[in-house]
Chains A and B, each alone.
Chain A
Amino acid sequence: MTLLVNRISKTFGAVQAVREVSFSCESSSITGFIGPNGSGKSTTLKIVAGLVKPDSGTVLFNGQPYASLANPGREVGFLLDPTAHHPGRSVRETALLSAIMMGHSKSRVHEVLEAVGLATVSRRRVQTLSLGMRQRLSLAIALLGEPKCLILDEPGNGLDVEGMAWLNEALRLLALDGVSILVSSHLLSELETYVDQVVIIDRGMVVAAESLEHLKTTDRTHVSGPELRNIELALREAGLSVEAHDGYGSHYLEVRALPELVGEILWKKHLQVNLLQQGKADSLAEFYKGITSPEFASPNRTDGE
Chain B
Amino acid sequence: MPSLSNPATNPLGVALYVEMRKLFDTRSARWLLLFMGISGILAVGLVIVLSIMRHEPLNLSALLVVLALPAGFGTPIIAILSITSDWQHKDVIKFFTLQPRRGVILGAKYLAVGLFALAIMLLASCLALLTVLAISAATGSELIYGEIGANLWLVFCTTTVGAVSGAAVGSAILSTPLAIIFVLFQSFVFDALIGLVAEKATPYLQSGSFAKFLTEGGDILPAITSCTIWIVIPASIGIWRNLKSDI
Residues of B within 8 A of A66 (CB): 100
The CA-CA distance from A67 to B18 in the complex, in Å, is 19
Q: Which one of B14, B15, B89, B99 has the greatest number of beta carbons of chain A within 10 Å?
A: B89
Interface of B is mostly: helix
Nearest CB on A from B65, distance (A): 32
A240 on the interface (CB 8 Å rule)? no
Neighbour of B97 across the interface among A12, A51, A70, A100, CB < 8 A: A51
Residues of B within 8 A of A98 (CB): 94, 98
Neighbour of A97 across the interface among B21, B93, B244, CB < 8 A: B21
Cβ B98 vs Cβ A102 within 8 A: yes
The CA-CA distance from A102 to B75 in the complex, in Å, is 29
Cβ B14 vs Cβ A100 within 8 A: yes
The CA-CA distance from A72 to B5 in the complex, in Å, is 15
Cβ B98 vs Cβ A72 within 8 A: yes
The CA-CA distance from A78 to B94 in the complex, in Å, is 8
Cβ B97 vs Cβ A49 within 8 A: yes
As a 0/1 sequence over residues 71 to 93 of chain B, the CB contacts with chain A under 8 angstroms (1 = contact) are: 00000000000000110011111
Residues of B within 8 A of A93 (CB): 21, 25
Closest residue of chain A to B3 (Cβ to Cβ) is A103
Cβ B89 vs Cβ A141 within 8 A: no
Cβ B93 vs Cβ A51 within 8 A: yes
Q: Which of B136-151 contact A (CB under 8 A)?
A: none
Neighbour of A103 across the interface among B8, B91, B101, CB < 8 A: B8
Residues of A within 8 A of B27 (CB): 88, 125
A84 on the interface (CB 8 Å rule)? yes
Q: Which of B1-45 contact A (CB under 8 A)?
A: 3, 5-8, 14-15, 17-18, 21-22, 25-28
B246 on the interface (CB 8 Å rule)? yes
The CA-CA distance from A66 to B21 in the complex, in Å, is 26
Residues of B within 8 A of A88 (CB): 26-28
As a 0/1 sequence over residues 101 to 115 of chain A, the CB contacts with chain B under 8 angstroms (1 = contact) are: 111000000000000
B96 on the interface (CB 8 Å rule)? yes
Residues of B within 8 A of A51 (CB): 92-93, 96-97, 246-247
Cβ B26 vs Cβ A141 within 8 A: no
A7 on the interface (CB 8 Å rule)? no
Cβ B98 vs Cβ A103 within 8 A: no
Question: Looking at chain B, what size class is its interface with the partner chain?
Answer: 20 to 34
As a 0/1 sequence over residues 237 to 248 of chain A, the CB contacts with chain B under 8 angstroms (1 = contact) are: 000000000000
Neighbour of B25 across the interface among A73, A89, A102, CB < 8 A: A89
A214 on the interface (CB 8 Å rule)? no
A83 on the interface (CB 8 Å rule)? yes
Closest residue of chain A to B19 (Cβ to Cβ) is A97
Cβ B97 vs Cβ A86 within 8 A: no
A56 on the interface (CB 8 Å rule)? no
The CA-CA distance from A253 to B25 in the complex, in Å, is 67
Cβ A53 vs Cβ B98 within 8 A: no
Nearest CB on B from A13, distance (A): 12
B153 on the interface (CB 8 Å rule)? no
A71 on the interface (CB 8 Å rule)? yes
B95 on the interface (CB 8 Å rule)? yes
Residues of A within 8 A of B247 (CB): 46, 51-52
Cβ B91 vs Cβ A72 within 8 A: no
The CA-CA distance from A149 to B232 in the complex, in Å, is 41
Nearest CB on A from B131, distance (A): 32
Residues of B within 8 A of A102 (CB): 7, 98
The CA-CA distance from A12 to B245 in the complex, in Å, is 12
Cβ B18 vs Cβ A100 within 8 A: yes
A38 on the interface (CB 8 Å rule)? no
Q: Which of B189-247 contact A (CB under 8 A)?
A: 244, 246-247
Contact A97-B22, Cβ < 8 Å, known A49-B97, A67-B100, A67-B101: yes
Residues of B within 8 A of A50 (CB): 96-97, 100
Cβ A84 vs Cβ B25 within 8 A: no
Residues of B within 8 A of A76 (CB): 97
A133 on the interface (CB 8 Å rule)? no
The CA-CA distance from A25 to B94 in the complex, in Å, is 22
Nearest CB on A from B29, distance (A): 8
A85 on the interface (CB 8 Å rule)? yes
Cβ B5 vs Cβ A86 within 8 A: no
Nearest CB on A from B151, distance (A): 35
A80 on the interface (CB 8 Å rule)? yes
Cross-chain pairs A/B with CB under 8 angstroms, 30 sampled? A51-B97, A53-B246, A66-B100, A69-B100, A70-B8, A71-B7, A71-B8, A72-B98, A78-B94, A78-B97, A80-B97, A81-B90, A81-B93, A84-B91, A84-B93, A86-B91, A87-B89, A88-B26, A88-B28, A89-B26, A97-B95, A98-B98, A100-B21, A101-B18, A101-B95, A101-B98, A102-B98, A103-B3, A103-B7, A103-B14
Q: List the interface of chain A (C-beta within 8 A of B).
A: 12, 46, 49-53, 66-67, 69-73, 76, 78, 80-81, 83-90, 93, 97-98, 100-103, 125, 141
Which 5 A/B pairs are nearest by Cβ-Cβ distance?
A: A84-B90, A88-B27, A88-B26, A70-B8, A101-B98
